[in-house]
């Protein structure tokens, strides 16, 4: 068995929800007759989702969702399973975008999007694709932000299910998934100690919360930067220091961005950072750290280790950027833990079945509550965890006043 | 200075938001001409809120919101400030309800409710009060549950502002307030170690989350019981064990209820608990632990320490109930920390001003977003914490697709 | 039953090791014929130890070990059990010292000391007592420091067992006992939030470690001050900030001393502290915070709440000192948790039996290893916790090279 | 620059203590004329230590200290620096032992040992080496156990400095080093979630403490197994469950051994483990998990992923062993974090200089206190952390009684 297949085989053991879905739905072939265009970080777990979708009857066409996050061995293996794959690990944005278009050219009936590149490209550049498109599921905070902006501008033409906003997605994937995988990638790629370090987390949304929690759990002193006063206050109450990035820049050893915004760390910060500071991004796009500015500031640039680029500044300090500023957990490691993605992908699969069987209005729709609860209940079941049930008396009490 | 005044004077130093509101609003007297009926756990912090409301122009009439949570020295002190007070620490429910009615008899224009006893009583027993009633603010999850049930049944006649649902309320008060004060009260009243103990937390809503977090922070092994699969899964992912209460009953040393429901711990559990198990409630009403059943089971009952009642069962085990099953943090200690209540009460004060100045429809309304953000921003300001601000470029980015 | 007896009855339920010792040893009366002079923080748990010692045959004479830590109701109750008690809660150091002398005048054969006041006084002022004195057990880090200094100066005349240095003492009592009880007392006496606060812990010995761990567990940002570089580095690695007290003074909200040294916080710090800063001591003697200097600096002094003294400085700031700078957990609350003291007092009881049955040389001796292990093993047993045992093969392996 | 050199160059930036030692000592060449035989886990950090020792004048001959922990690219790079290297990543124990002997054949004057293979082999098989051997420094708990057993049997012929027992070694390296690197390696090699898992830690010494702390910090429920009642009780008080390995075997998802003993997990446990359980060892030798028994039980064995071997049992369950049961952090990842090893290696370098300059008696000696404090003080200095200093008055106080 080649390494790509091994990786897929490995994750299949721990994706118990996808396995339950296969058991339950493959006899019914609910996706028969549907072509699904998928843009995802192509590694073993997403590959396994694609395989399950095929087993439910779909014709699946896959590409990456970020230039650096495709694992080539997995992409190859996926072809062996009979899927169409247009994906290659690359730093070349144009190759990446060409693949996005190739997927769209197959005229998918359903899109599974991660960051919204497929859907936005279809709307802005290939409107002919929209015709046969029954709906979209979107995985990320960033993708939903874009699709809502598209909708607000009046341009959205298809129904979207906001997978990211399901409880069993963002409470787990964004928090525990991003938390563990981001820190693991930083440790793996630098071999540096987290304890004894000052870790600056930019953004205290669900991803930032997870990162801060794990950095603390690994022994760091954590500083949070935020623009939202409510989130900032929450960080204070969790025992983190909160300060503007300009101040944090002077004291941080490791900087991690998870804001969904651009240029969160830029020239002003680079210039006051300590020598050997580490910069990593956990947000969807490689815009959070102002790489262009960093390139311009640097008098020298070199590969310090795989996935670690050193930028020597005029002041003599070297700053180290991980994974070229792309999401460090996917571009320089294996992404979220398997079981966490299993939760998210169960929602994806069930949402696609839901889209296939229902006609929704144009707009951004929440994941149906039943799907959310099925995922939580089934996950507890696979873990062997039992919970309580309301008695009749208790149900009545909750309705009384 | 008597002790009641000392207590009020003490908290006034740490309620920086109420002080800001006084500074800003007392010149304008925005509550002039309004009579506010308050039902609250009457201790120093709530007393200070009442005093501030009076300073903003209101005529304030105060009663408790739970028979055992009134501190008599504070109630006395409040009278010296010129407020009308109908409240006394008592175990006698009828005395308590009589005071609720006395407040309503003053025909308040606004109600500040905590648990909804004033509002429900007005609607169900004294409808004449509703006439002049411009609106209600409700502090708690439990109260809102009741008022929504009232509304669902078509009986609600006034607008309600859901103070509890403001971010700067439930994210802080329910979690950090309940968390600290519940554990502190248990430690204070038992002098027992939390570390090395198995603490069973019933309910993993925001209150339960806070209690579990603090129990863990104090060194306990924490078991969570839940009826909601999503919350149960969250607890699992935080490293807590989750099991049905019947199972947890056998292994727990300390049990804390925070479900908002009734008879969460009952006969079946009492009979399998370990000798010397401790029972405490952090929910609004004294119904979560089935006290009636416990009284019936017991062959002997005695006061083991102040606020600790021992129930000797036929099997020879003694179970200890704290604070007669009433909210242990208020009935047997001083309630939430001062600064946490300051957040909640700032929302209360600003919501009352909002109600006074606006005509809302009948129904349950969210706290206006501006109030929520003012509270967070001002709190950060009083803490000396600075945060970042979106640049023009970043704002545009967030609107792009 | 009066409150003192109730308190003793309560703790007796949770002191399972003392109960085991009573079961095992009271038939043999191993302390028959011995008079034990005890200086201890006189509250329910220490009272129960005294009662157990009496049940093992000893004639027990008790006094306090700190002016403010005696609980008068317990002292009264103890007399009812037939013990001789010279103790009263007082701020008057001379009353306290007179009681120390009264105990010595009874010519004890064994001394159970807590802070070494009995032993040092015997050596320096009442040498006649030393004649019949078979040995001393000392409970605290501070007491052992003094007795070792006494020994170093050639003046020590009796064998001392260093109870504090037993693993089952300092790893638990100093860390978990001090940690919980110090924070609980601060919360109880101030009703302030710990989360969102900056807590400065002076000293990172076992007591300081426990305090810092609990403050973190309650949500504080923790700053540590130290004089020992190894301990300071350990604090850094645990994610705490470390800085000189002069710097910490400017940013702290709550200051807790646990150094065993004097004037750790003094004029220079008082002058730069924030308004409303809280000062508490967890060390044995009331010398860690320079109270004399604070008294001199203050332009006004008042009781803000019971156990809280406000000092108004010329700069307009008020600093609040808890429990007059005496150990805040004992002078203003109920001291260490019951089960933790049970560990320490089991060592005390077994060490006294050991002293009674063996003739040791003058000097400071470790607690015999068997006692330490008996305590740990028996505690696990009472908790129902089972552990593994080395196989023969494993034992051999450990001796191989 | 090849990858081996890049790795060394990278770590050199973060090993500030070794750099300080080079600055201070290389002008004096204190190791001139000494041949040092090193047995170490050969990767970038140990390579940098070897380079520094050479810069201090020594002739350095290097081999691995565990068959699987040698990184071949680093070994190659080290030769370019002019060191003699006998090391290759291998599963073949005989190749490994041959290299040990090759180092000894160079007749080193000093030995830097990690696990004691060099020293034990010299004593038991090549006694001629002992003649010119001035002393040994030993890095690990396991190595010291062996050397103490050797000494107890009367066979030790040289002085040994117990590097492991220095505070700045075991408090940091064993705890924080092992803690982070073990968990990181497990995450890296499995891509599994730690949160939501039950992690069983066998052994609660300093390594086990670190592993348990990090597993908890990453969200796991942690179970500890122990043979020592005091350590077991400590684990209970930290909120961990403690139980015999036979019981833990049934509920664990991930098992990590850190006992320094053999066959801690064996047949009885394998047979009751859950399907897909993960087995990892963090102890020095690959004896803690009974691999021989596992091989015999298995009906099938396969490589599931790199560094992950699947063993299919007759009951249908598959157990996954990481890194062939060798220390998972070194055999399947990059070992301890750089800065942590910097502490340990500073002690190594200074202890070797000490051995070179002093004649010690045969036996196992502690690291001189000055070295320990220099390391802590200098580390704080490189971190920019300032601490307090005792005043004259405070020093006197500490000597008073």
pLDDT tens-digit map of B268-289: 999 999 999 999 999 999 999 9
Tell me, what DSSP letter sits at residue D312?
E
Tell me, what DSSP letter sits at residue D177?
I
* Neighbouring C-beta atoms of residue D33, cutoff 10 Å: 11
Q: What is the pLDDT of residues C161-207, one digit of tens each?
A: 999 999 999 999 999 999 999 999 999 999 999 999 999 999 999 99
Q: What is the pLDDT of residues D301-329, one digit of tens each?
A: 999 999 999 999 999 999 999 999 999 99
B341 Cβ under 8 Å from any chain A Cβ: no
Contact D229 C397 (CB under 8 A): no
pLDDT (average), residues D65-74? 90
- Among chain C residues, the shortest Cα distance to A251 is held by C241
Q: Are A118 and A103 in contact (CB under 8 A)?
A: yes
B225 Cβ under 8 Å from any chain A Cβ: yes
D337 Ramachandran zone, left/alpha/beta (phi>0; psi -120 to 50) = beta
Chain B, chain C: beta-carbon pairs less than 8 Å apart: 112
Which tops the pLDDT comparison, D229 or B91?
A: D229
Q: What is the pLDDT of residues D7-61, one digit of tens each?
A: 999 999 999 999 999 999 999 999 999 999 999 999 999 999 999 999 999 999 9
Q: Are B84 and B61 in contact (CB under 8 A)?
A: yes
Question: Which pLDDT belongs to residue A302?
Answer: 97
B10 Cβ under 8 Å from any chain C Cβ: yes
Distance of alpha carbon A60 from alpha carbon A40, whole angstroms: 12
**pLDDT of residue B319 exceeding 90:** yes
Question: Which pLDDT belongs to residue A67?
Answer: 83
pLDDT (average), residues B52-70? 94
B151 Cβ under 8 Å from any chain D Cβ: no
Q: What is the pLDDT of residues B368-390, one digit of tens each?
A: 999 999 999 999 999 999 999 99
Question: What whole-number percentage of chain D has pLDDT above 70?
Answer: 100
Residue to mutate among C197, C198, C213, C239, with most A CBs inside 10 A, is: C239
CA-nearest of B324, B12, B363, B11 to B159 is: B363
pLDDT (average), residues C213-228? 98
- Who's near A123: CB < 8 A, 6+ residues apart? A130, A150, A155, A156, A157
Report CA-CA distances (Å) from C217 to C172, C221, D96.
17, 10, 47
In chain B, what residues touch C196 (CB-CB under 8 Å)? 176, 339, 383
Q: What is the pLDDT of residues A305-343, one digit of tens each?
A: 999 999 999 999 999 999 999 999 999 999 999 999 999
Distance of alpha carbon B26 from alpha carbon B3, whole angstroms: 27
CA-nearest of C8, C10, C19, C31 to C378 is: C19
Q: What is the pLDDT of residues A204-250, one digit of tens each?
A: 999 999 999 999 999 999 999 999 999 999 999 999 999 999 999 99
Query: What is the pLDDT of chain A when averaged over all its residues?
Result: 97
Where is D257: in which H helix or E strand? strand D254-257
Q: Are B340 and C193 in contact (CB under 8 A)?
A: yes
Distance from the B238 Cα atom to the nearest Cα atom in chain C, whole angstroms? 15
Out of D216, D237, D238, whose CB is closest to B239?
Answer: D216
Residue D68: pLDDT band by 50, 70, 90 thresholds? confident
pLDDT (average), residues C329-337? 95
pLDDT (average), residues D235-243? 98
Question: Which pLDDT belongs to residue A99?
Answer: 96
Phi, psi of B309, rounded to the nearest 5 degrees: -105, 125
Q: Are C176 and B176 in contact (CB under 8 A)?
A: no
User: What are C113's two structure tokens?
Assistant: 């000391």
Q: Are D253 and D296 in contact (CB under 8 A)?
A: no
CB contact burial D337-364 (16+ within 10 A = b; e otherwise): bbbbbbbbbbbbbbbbbbbbeeeeeeeb
Strands C59-63 and D221-225: unpaired
Q: What CATH class does C3-169+336-383 carry?
A: alpha beta
**What is the three-state SS of chain A?**
CCHHHHHHHHHHHHCHHHHHHHHHHCCCCCCCCCEEEEECCCCHHHHHHHHHHHHCCCEEEEECCCHHHCCHHHHHHHHHCCCEEECCCCCCHHHHHHHHHHHHHCCCCEEEECCCHHHHHHHHCCHHHHHHCCEEEECCHHHHHHHHHHHHCCCCCCEEEEHHHCHHHHHHHHHHHHHHHHHHHHHHHHCCCCCCCEEEEECCCHHHHHHHHHHHHCCCEEEEECCCHHHHHHHHHCCCEECCHHHHHHHCCEEEECCCCCCCECHHHHCCCCCCCEEEECCCCCCCECHHHHHHHCCEEEEEECCEEEEECCCCCEEEEEHHHCEHHHHCCCCCCHHHHHHHHHHHHHHHHHHHHCCCCCEEEECCHHHHHHHHHHHHHHHCCCCCCCCHHHHHHHHCC
Query: What is the pLDDT of chain D when averaged over all its residues?
Result: 97
Q: What is the pLDDT of residues C106-153, one digit of tens each?
A: 999 999 999 999 999 999 999 999 999 999 999 999 999 999 999 999
Question: Which pLDDT belongs to residue C399?
Answer: 92
Out of D149, D263, D394, whose CB is closest to C393?
Answer: D263
In chain C, what residues touch B6 (CB-CB under 8 Å)? 303-305
Out of B219, B222, B237, whose CB is closest to D237?
Answer: B219
Which chains are within 8 Å of A by 3+ CB pairs?
Answer: B, C, D
Contact C401 D120 (CB under 8 A): yes
User: What are B353's two structure tokens?
Assistant: 């001003």
**pLDDT of residue A69 exceeding 90:** no
Strands A308-312 and A300-305: antiparallel
Distance from the D104 Cα atom to the nearest Cα atom in chain C, whole angstroms? 18
B393 Cβ under 8 Å from any chain A Cβ: yes
Q: Which of residues 244-263 of B touch A (CB under 8 A)?
A: 244-245, 247, 260-263
Where is B322: in which H helix or E strand? strand B318-322
**pLDDT of residue C307 exceeding 80:** yes
Question: Which pLDDT belongs to residue C67?
Answer: 84
3-state percent helix, strand, coil for chain B, nearest multiple of 5: 50, 15, 35
User: What are A38's two structure tokens?
Assistant: 């998928």
Contact A193 D305 (CB under 8 A): no
Residue A350: pLDDT band by 50, 70, 90 thresholds? very high
pLDDT (average), residues B73-88? 94
**pLDDT of residue A20 exceeding 80:** yes
Q: Are A255 and A202 in contact (CB under 8 A)?
A: yes
The alpha carbon dihedral of C207, C212, C215, C216 has a sign of negative
Distance of alpha carbon C145 from alpha carbon C157, whole angstroms: 16
* Neighbouring C-beta atoms of residue C165, cutoff 10 Å: 16
Contact D388 C149 (CB under 8 A): no
ipTM for the predicted complex: 0.95
Contact D168 C393 (CB under 8 A): no
Residue C1: pLDDT band by 50, 70, 90 thresholds? confident
Residue C91: pLDDT band by 50, 70, 90 thresholds? confident
Phi, psi of C63, rounded to the nearest 5 degrees: -140, 175
Domain locations along chain B: 3-169+336-383, 177-332
Q: What is the DSSP string of C219-267?
A: T-EEEEE-S-HHHHHHHHHTT-EE--HHHHHHH-SEEEE-SSSS-SB-H
Phi, psi of A54, rounded to the nearest 5 degrees: -65, -40
User: What are B380's two structure tokens?
Assistant: 């950060």
**pLDDT of residue D142 exceeding 90:** yes
pLDDT (average), residues A91-119? 96
Contact A195 C219 (CB under 8 A): no
Question: What whole-number percentage of chain C has pLDDT above 70?
Answer: 100
Same fold, B3-169+336-383 and B177-332: yes
Q: What is the pLDDT of residues B8-40, one digit of tens each?
A: 999 999 999 999 999 999 999 999 999 999 999
CA-nearest of D333, D351, D347, D32 to D160 is: D351
Question: Which pLDDT belongs to residue D58?
Answer: 98
Question: Which pLDDT belongs to residue A91?
Answer: 82
Strands A221-225 and A241-242: parallel
**pLDDT of residue C232 exceeding 80:** yes
The domain made up of D177-332 is a member of CATH 3.40.50.720: yes
* Neighbouring C-beta atoms of residue B154, cutoff 10 Å: 7
**pLDDT of residue A269 exceeding 80:** yes
Question: Which pLDDT belongs to residue B67?
Answer: 83
**pLDDT of residue B91 exceeding 90:** no
Sheet containing strand B254-257, edge to edge, reads: B241-242, B221-225, B198-202, B254-257, B278-281, B318-322, B308-312, B300-305
Torsion angle (degrees, nearest 10) of CA A209, A210, A212, A215: 170
Q: Which of A119-128, D65-74, D96-105 is predicted least confidently? A: D65-74
Question: What whole-number percentage of chain B has pLDDT above 70?
Answer: 100
**pLDDT of residue A1 exceeding 80:** no
CA-nearest of B193, B190, D206 to C173 is: B193
Q: Which residues of C are annotated as a binding site for NAD(+)?
A: 140-142, 205-210, 226, 282-284, 329, 336
């Amino acid at each position: 068995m080649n390494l790509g297949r091994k990786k897929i085989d490995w994750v299949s053991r721990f994706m118990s929800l996808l396995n339950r879905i296969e058991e339950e739905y493959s006899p019914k072939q609910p996706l028969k007759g549907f072509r699904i265009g998928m843009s995802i970080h192509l590694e073993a777990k997403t590959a396994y989702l694609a395989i399950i979708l095929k087993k439910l009857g779909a014709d699946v066409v896959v590409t990456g969702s970020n230039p650096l996050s495709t694992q080539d061995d997995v992409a190859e293996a996926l072809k062996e399973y009979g899927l169409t794959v247009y994906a290659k690990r690359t730093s070349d944005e144009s190759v990446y975008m060409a693949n996005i278009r190739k997927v769209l050219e197959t005229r998918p009936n359903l899109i599974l999007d991660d960051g919204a590149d497929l859907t936005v490209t279809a709307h802005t550049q290939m409107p002919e694709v929209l015709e046969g498109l029954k709906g979209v599921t979107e995985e990320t905070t960033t993708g939903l932000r874009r699709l809502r902006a598209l909708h607000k501008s009046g341009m959205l033409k298809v129904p979207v299910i906001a997978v990211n906003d399901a409880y069993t997605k963002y409470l787990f994937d964004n928090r525990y998934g991003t938390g563990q995988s981001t820190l693991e990638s930083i440790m793996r790629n630098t071999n540096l100690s987290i304890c004894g370090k000052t870790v600056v987390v930019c953004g205290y949304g669900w991803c930032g919360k997870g990162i801060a929690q794990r950095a603390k759990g690994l022994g760091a002193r954590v500083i949070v930067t935020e623009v939202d006063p409510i989130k900032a206050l929450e960080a204070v109450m969790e025992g983190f220091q909160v300060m503007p990035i300009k101040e944090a820049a002077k004291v941080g050893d490791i900087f991690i961005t998870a804001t969904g915004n651009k240029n969160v760390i830029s020239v002003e910060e680079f210039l006051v950072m300590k020598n050997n500071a580490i910069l990593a991004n956990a947000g969807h796009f490689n815009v959070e750290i102002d790489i262009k500015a960093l390139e311009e500031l640097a008098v020298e640039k070199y590969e310090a280790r795989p996935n670690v680029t050193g930028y020597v500044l005029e002041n003599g300090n070297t700053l180290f950027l991980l994974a070229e500023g792309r999401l460090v957990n996917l571009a320089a490691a294996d992404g979220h833990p398997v079981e966490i993605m299993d939760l998210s992908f169960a929602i994806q699969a069930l949402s696609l079945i839901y889209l296939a069987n229902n006609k929704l209005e144009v707009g951004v729709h929440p994941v149906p509550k039943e799907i959310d609860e099925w995922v939580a209940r089934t996950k507890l079941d696979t873990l062997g965890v039992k919970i309580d049930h309301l008695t009749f008396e208790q149900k009545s009490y909750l309705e009384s006043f």
